[in-house]
Amino acid sequence: MLELFLDVDGVILDFESTFMDFVREYYIPELPLNYLPKSWELKDGLLSRLDVDQTWNAFMGSGRFAQLNLLADKESFNRLSSTFPLHLVTNLPQEHYGQRIKNLILHGLNYASLNLGGHHSFGIKDYPSKAQVIEGLRDKNRQVFFLDDHPENCRQVKAAFPQARVFLMQRPHNEEVPDEDWERVLDWPEFVAEVDQAVLSRG
Ligand SMILES: [Mg+2]
């Protein structure tokens, strides 16, 4: 059987839309509606004039980070988490863990655990990679299914667990990234369909 390890921002919750609304409101009024960043570092187009760290800190202190909209849908998410161990692995510092939990509760999502880890360390000593988080949680009798929108996390998890199925969810910031040893899915429903298909094919 399988177990699921899922990223949150850009996969389950729509960080980018709410963050871009905040940027338009406070920093760049001419930022087009529905603009989504083309680079993870926010260096594209009008965003290049932002002080990214300062803007991110202001956003995280605004309360809006606990009110992100869903990219996944509650019904299919909770169906998966009631069928398989489903662990969330989110790339945040500890201080924002509470806001994240609040946001997940707001949407009524159920999951086995919420963990901090990822390719971006925030300068925190010994901050774990997603592969390290998975190593600490996984059940060796189950196949790892991993979903993330950042290529580096996918790369690291596939390197650590070659038997895993690693999915990159397509977002504007990774559209141009050449595919490597991961499976690209266009959105949440496509990922759910892959899981359902894997279960069916095992009988
Ligand atoms: Mg993400």
pLDDT single digits (tens) 105-143: 999 999 999 999 999 999 999 999 999 999 999 999 999
- The Cα–Cα gap between 21 and 43 comes to 17
pLDDT single digits (tens) 33-63: 999 999 888 888 999 999 999 999 999 999 9
Q: How far is CA 53 from CA 14, 108, 118, 140, in A?
A: 19, 30, 18, 39
Ligand 1 mean position, distance from CA 167 (Å): 12
Under the banding of pLDDT at 50, 70 and 90, the label for residue 202 is confident
Beta-carbon contacts of residue 163 (< 8 Å; ≥ 6 apart): 143, 144
Q: Is the dihedral of CA 39, 105, 80, 121 positive or negative?
A: positive
Q: Two tokens at 72? A: 């996944």
Ligand 1 mean position, distance from CA 13 (Å): 9
pLDDT at site 69: 98
pLDDT at site 179: 96
Ligand 1 mean position, distance from CA 140 (Å): 25
pLDDT single digits (tens) 62-92: 999 999 999 999 999 999 999 999 999 999 9
Ligand 1 mean position, distance from CA 12 (Å): 9
Ligand 1 mean position, distance from CA 203 (Å): 32
Ligand 1 mean position, distance from CA 32 (Å): 22
pLDDT at site 186: 98
Structural domains of the chain in order of their starting residue, each with its CATH number:
2-14+68-201 (3.40.50.1000), 15-65 (no CATH)
Nearest to 188 by CA among 5, 3, 13: 13
pLDDT at site 40: 85
- The Cα–Cα gap between 69 and 104 comes to 10
Buried (b) or exposed (e) across 30-57, using 16+ Cβ within 10 A?
A: ebeeebebbebebeeeebeebeeeebee
Q: What share of the chain is helix, strand, coil (3-state, %, to 5)?
A: 45, 15, 40
Q: In this structure, what DSSP letter does residue 123 have?
A: T
Ligand 1 mean position, distance from CA 149 (Å): 5
pLDDT at site 150: 97
Question: What percent of the chain has a predicted confidence (pLDDT) above 70?
Answer: 100
pLDDT at site 153: 98
Statement: residue 203 has pLDDT above 90: no
Q: Taking a C-beta distance cutoff of 8 angstroms, is the pair 166, 158 a contact?
A: yes
